């Protein structure tokens, strides 16, 4: 099992997140207004990304920690992580057709980020809506690159921050839909999944290695997420209380 320090160091895509312990957390939270409240008070000019993530977990600011991880992952990793998060908390679960198609489209883009898959994700996102985790993930795939304007209209490029924002929204919605009484455990599991995705311990199937036709996600994702079914067992958690009980000195401002 990785220590929190080791896990944080692998989140280095595409911003060299915690690279050598020198990357500033403030450089990942962009544009201004991404975070507020206690999470903002912890965000000093000097605090590193590693120390900031540790502080967020130590102070149980889990939603902010989840958002922060979304900003530290490469686009495909982030969308995949969002799908993993949904599968981890809900497992095989019958979904409305629109949400199932949105998850299908998001994972299809993760496996093969082609323009056709991006456009498919965009259409699925419109049908599912941004009030659902699936819709947010499909929209994140659509916002990953290329024009977001309607066909035949002048090209409009998406802001680079739209993908992590949509993924963060999907993950937070996923937690909100789960059992509130297990909020602490849920968030720590999902943070652990983010670490595993970042280090390559969990990865999607590439199209050329898939041995069967792409499965339908009329149920919550299970094919490439099946290892997460028992992820709530304490032995599978990367982030434990012992690893985060001592926040860095720069986090003291939260108590002021």
- CA 218, 222, 226: angle at the middle one, nearest 5? 170
How confident is the model over 220-247, as pLDDT tens digits? 554 454 443 333 332 223 333 333 333 3
Closest to 61 (Cα-Cα) out of 81, 42, 77: 42
How confident is the model over 113-164, as pLDDT tens digits? 999 999 999 999 999 999 999 999 999 999 999 888 887 788 888 888 899 9
CA distance 25 to 46: 8
Highest mean pLDDT among 64-68, 202-206, 219-223, 251-255: 64-68
Predicted pLDDT of residue 244: 32
What are the CA-CA distances from residue 212 to residues 94, 97, 120, 229 (Å)?
Answer: 22, 22, 21, 22
Q: How confident is the model at residue 50 (pLDDT cuts 50, 70, 90)?
A: confident
pTM of the model as a whole: 0.75
Query: Which residue reads 């990865």 in tokens?
Result: 203
pLDDT at 106 over 60: yes
Q: What is the DSSP letter of 92?
A: S
Burial of 238 (0-12, 13-18, 19+ CB in 10 A): buried
Gyration radius (Cα) of the chain, Å: 18
Predicted pLDDT of residue 208: 64
The residue extents of the domains of the chain are 4-71+240-255, 74-182+202-207+215-232
- The pairs formed by 141-146 with CB atoms below 8 angstroms and a separation of 24 or more are 141/79, 141/105, 141/106, 141/109, 141/110, 141/113, 141/117, 142/118, 144/75, 144/76, 144/79, 144/109, 144/113, 144/118, 145/75, 145/113, 145/118, 146/115, 146/118
How confident is the model over 178-193, as pLDDT tens digits? 988 888 889 989 998 9
Mean pLDDT of 77-97: 88
What are the CA-CA distances from residue 227 to residues 91, 201, 216 (Å)?
Answer: 10, 11, 18
- The pairs formed by 178-185 with CB atoms below 8 angstroms and a separation of 24 or more are 178/89, 178/90, 182/232, 183/62, 184/60, 184/62, 185/232
Angle (deg, nearest 10), helices 133-142 and 162-177: 170
């Amino acid at each position: 099992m990785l220590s929190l320090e080791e896990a944080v160091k692998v989140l280095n895509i595409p911003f060299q997140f915690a690279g050598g312990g020198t990357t500033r957390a403030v450089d990942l939270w962009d544009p201004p207004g991404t975070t507020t409240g206690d999470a903002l008070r912890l965000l000093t000019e000097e605090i590193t990304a590693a120390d900031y993530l540790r502080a967020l977990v130590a102070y149980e600011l889990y939603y902010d920690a989840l958002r922060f991880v979304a900003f530290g992952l490469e686009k495909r990793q982030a969308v995949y992580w969002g799908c993993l998060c949904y599968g981890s908390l809900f497992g095989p679960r019958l979904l409305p057709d629109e949400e199932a198609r949105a998850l299908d489209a998001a994972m299809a883009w993760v496996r093969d980020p082609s323009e056709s898959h991006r456009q498919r994700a965009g259409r699925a996102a419109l049908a599912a809506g941004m009030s659902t985790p699936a819709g947010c993930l499909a929209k994140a795939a659509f916002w990953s690159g290329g024009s977001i304007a309607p066909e035949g209209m002048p090209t409009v490029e998406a802001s680079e921050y739209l993908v992590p924002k949509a993924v963060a929204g999907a993950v937070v919605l996923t937690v909100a839909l789960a059992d509130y009484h297990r909020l602490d455990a849920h968030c720590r599991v999902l943070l652990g999944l983010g670490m595993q995705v970042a280090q390559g311990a969990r990865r999607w199937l590439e199209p050329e290695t898939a041995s069967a036709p792409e499965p339908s996600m009329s149920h919550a994702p299970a094919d490439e997420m099946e290892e997460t079914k028992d992820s709530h067992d304490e032995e599978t958690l990367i982030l434990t209380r012992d690893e985060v009980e001592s926040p860095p000195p720069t986090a003291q401002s939260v108590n002021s």
